[in-house]
Amino acid sequence: MIKQFAYLALVSLFISCNSDENQPDCSAVSCMEPTIIINLLDSATNENIIIKNNIPEDAIIINDTSETPLNFHLSEPNGLLLISKRDAIATLDIRLNNEVISNISYKTSAPNTDACCDFGSLTDVIITEHTFDIENNTITIYL
């Protein structure tokens, strides 16, 4: 009897997980956490600053407005910074070797689709003192 009850409960759980036929079942999908990708380029040479100057990950600090360090990962092959996006609206600064090189403010839109792992797009991006481009949540900053 206990086995039958457990089986019934398990089947009911799977049936109720995706009750809306128009929404995808994201329960089995493993999404990467929401991130902002930053590419820091030398404006004269278009080379990545981090690779060009051999800047190690421990020489990079990314803080929010309360000076709280944000989690990030340095992609070694291409010098991209993958910054964990904790909030839909934020301001942060990027420091290389203890020098602030850029301040970034942004907002995040609502998800663009009903697809799993859609965390929205960057909007209202403001970067002081530098030109920049945005494509697919990647911000390229020309220093």
Determine the pLDDT at residue 29.
72
Residue 6: pLDDT over 70: no
Residue 14: pLDDT over 90: no
pLDDT one-digit tens code per residue, 72-96: 999 988 999 999 887 888 899 999 9
What angle (nearest 5°) sits at the alpha carbon of residue 72, between those of residues 111 and 131? 75
Q: 41: burial class by Cβ within 10 Å (0-12, 13-18, 19+)?
A: buried
Could you give the C-alpha distances from 30 to 24, 40, 49, 130, in angstroms and in order?
A: 13, 29, 32, 36
